[in-house]
Amino acid sequence: MSDDFQLESEPCVKFNARSGQVSKRKAVRGVVDLYTDGACCPNPGQGGWAFVLVGGSKRTEASGACLMQTTNNRMELTAAIEGLKRLKWPCVVRLFTDSAYLGEGLEWLRKWKDSGWRTGKRKTPVRNRDLWEKLDGYRQMHNITYHHVKAHSGHHYNELCDKLAEEAAANAMMTVNFQPPPNKKRRPKRKRQS
């Protein structure tokens, strides 16, 4: 399957009637559902992410792992970024996730940027800023709406993402924790003297 997820549609031009300008932002070409999940066991530890993209009759899924120390929240963000990265054209993206951190963060992005990437009242630096900035770039390209899915509630694509992310995290743990046996040189056996 191709890395790019492309929906068939007719190209169109966005025209701003107020300013009389043609928009520099590409016209939206379709509606896709993006299901995401991240996993990290232990948290922090090695992690995994997964997404499923569904648009029209097309569906694609992917997962991956982080072998370095990471957190569940970073894996949740990575899943969304990796899914959005596959979209070739600007789309209406309905993002389904069980992560309140990801969903609420999408709503807070503008405030964080306006405040110099500081949180509300405490004015502490926003955690995972590097990933939020990447996500913000995709948010500017796509029209993203957040839909919360209750974890482990039997939702088919959410359960699939959960399974793929958990498998990726487990594989990462096995890779990191695998230690080949030491390369011992065998000494030649000594002959006994009689």
Q: Judge whether 114 counts as a catalytic residue.
A: no
Selecting among 45, 83, 98, 105, the annotated active-site residue is: 98
Closest to 37 (Cα-Cα) out of 86, 97, 85:
97
Nearest alpha carbon to residue 90 among 163, 124, 140: 140
Catalytic choice (30, 37, 103, 105): 37
| Catalytic residue selected from 38, 47, 83, 105 | 38
Active site residue 98: yes
Active site residue 37: yes
Is 136 an active-site residue?
no
Closest C-alpha among 102, 104, 48, 110 to residue 73: 102
Catalytic residue, chosen from 105, 142, 162, 166, is: 162
User: Catalytic pick from 64, 76, 83, 105?
Assistant: 76
CA 154 to mean position of chain CA atoms: 21
What is the C-alpha to C-alpha distance for residues 112 and 123, in angstroms, rounded to an integer?
10
Q: What are phi and psi of 175, to 5 degrees?
A: -65, -45
Question: Catalytic site residue 152?
Answer: yes
Residues 6 or more apart whose CB falls under 8 angstroms from that of 49 comprise: 36, 37, 38, 39, 63, 64, 65, 66, 75, 76, 78, 79, 82, 165, 168
- Please pick, among 4, 8, 56, 152, the residue that the annotation labels catalytic: 152
Residues in the chain: 194
Q: Within 13 Å, how many C-alpha atoms sit on residue 191's CB side? A: 2
Residue 47 a catalytic site member: no
Catalytic residues: 37-38, 76, 98, 152, 162
